[in-house]
């Protein structure tokens, strides 16, 4: 049983590898589904490690490596592919498009930096500093679902090179920004100590009902806003 968390972590890694193959074949929604499965597995491996008291250094390193593939390489490649698909109808020079397309890979580079910082940062036990890589990746895969089920006419925005470059730059910065952000690891369940978390859950549920596939960007925006209104480093002291 003590090896079960590591097996689940390998499942996360497998989903990440399969998502990369799906992106190469332009099956972005399928890649998105694989990332969602990986996100569940990423939660379960840590949960089971705590439950079974099966902590190990190899498990910690394996989890970080798996996350780098699923929540680092995958979002960069997905943005790269979306940029390429949108550039087919864009009236820009080849040089500008080349630079813009490869700017998408900043997300992968800063995800690696984010994971490396997290591994050695002892402050991030009850809250996060900077946007976690899974949260950033969930925004990226939501673009794939929006493009496949565009109920609000957002496709021209998502395909626009300016939007994608801006998103890549801002999200890369948020990954490593020294901003304390809420975590859903509850130490207690009273309202006063967890106002930000509870409001985030309520907003997430309402957003999923109202916006469906377009909910994730809305949720992450409110995630950052609520973290600024209810600083987790102040709530937990």
Query: What is the predicted pLDDT for the residue at 227?
Result: 92
Mean pLDDT across 19-39:
97
Q: Average pLDDT in the 76-95 region?
A: 88
Torsion of CA 16, 22, 28, 33, to 10 degrees: -50
pLDDT at 219 over 90: yes
d(CA 45, CA 92): 45
In this structure, of 74-88, 205-219, 221-235, the range with the lowest mean pLDDT score is 221-235
pLDDT at 96: 84
Residues 6+ apart with CB under 8 A from 108: 72, 73, 75, 76, 77
Residue 236: band (very low, low, confident or very high) from pLDDT cuts 50, 70, 90:
very low
pLDDT digit string (tens) for 83-92?
A: 999 987 777 7
**Which run of H or E residues covers position 232?**
helix 232-235
Spell out the residues 6+ positions from residue 66 whose beta carbon is closer than 8 angstroms to its own: 9, 10, 12, 13, 16, 42
Q: Is the alpha carbon torsion for 213, 202, 197, 63 positive or negative?
A: negative
CATH of domain 4-235: 1.20.120
User: With 60 as the cut, is the pLDDT of residue 113 above it?
Assistant: yes
- Give 48-69 pLDDT, tens digit per residue: 877 777 777 888 889 999 999 9
Instruction: Please determine, for residue 16, whether its predicted confidence score (pLDDT) is greater than 50.
Output: yes
Average pLDDT, the chain: 90
| Predicted model pTM | 0.91
pLDDT digits (tens, 9 = 90+) for 181-196: 998 776 777 887 788 9
pLDDT-above-90 percentage for the chain: 69
Adjacent-strand bridge partners of 128: 181
Give pLDDT, residue 237. 42
* CA-CA-CA-CA dihedral for 70, 72, 75, 78, to nearest 10: -80
Burial class (CB in 10 A: 0-12, 13-18, 19+), 101: buried
Provide mean pLDDT across the span 3-24: 95
The arithmetic mean of pLDDT across residues 216-224, rounded, is: 94
Pick the residue with more confidence: 155 or 94?
A: 155
Cα(84)–Cα(89) distance, integer angstroms: 10
């Amino acid at each position: 049983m003590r090896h079960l968390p590591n097996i689940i972590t390998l499942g996360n890694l497998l989903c990440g590898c399969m998502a990369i193959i799906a992106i190469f074949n332009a099956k972005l929604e399928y890649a998105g589904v694989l990332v969602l499965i990986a996100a569940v597995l990423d939660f379960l491996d840590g949960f089971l490690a705590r439950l079974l008291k099966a902590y190990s250094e190899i498990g910690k390193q394996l989890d970080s490596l798996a996350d780098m593939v699923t929540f680092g390489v995958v979002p960069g490649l997905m943005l790269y592919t979306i940029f390429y698909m949108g550039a087919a109808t864009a009236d820009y020079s080849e040089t500008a498009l080349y630079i813009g397309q490869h700017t998408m890979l900043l997300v992968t580079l800063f995800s690696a930096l984010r994971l490396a910082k997290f591994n050695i940062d002892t402050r991030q036990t009850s809250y996060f500093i900077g946007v976690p890589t899974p949260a950033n990746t969930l925004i990226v895969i939501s673009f794939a679902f929006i493009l496949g089920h565009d109920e609000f006419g957002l496709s021209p925005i998502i395909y626009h090179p300016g939007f994608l470059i801006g998103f890549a730059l801002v999200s890369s910065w948020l990954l490593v920004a020294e901003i304390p952000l809420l975590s859903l690891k509850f130490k207690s369940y009273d309202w006063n100590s967890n106002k930000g978390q509870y409001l985030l859950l309520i907003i997430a549920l309402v957003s999923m009902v109202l916006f469906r596939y377009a909910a994730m960007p809305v949720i992450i925006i409110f995630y950052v806003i609520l973290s600024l209104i209810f600083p987790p480093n102040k709530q937990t002291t």
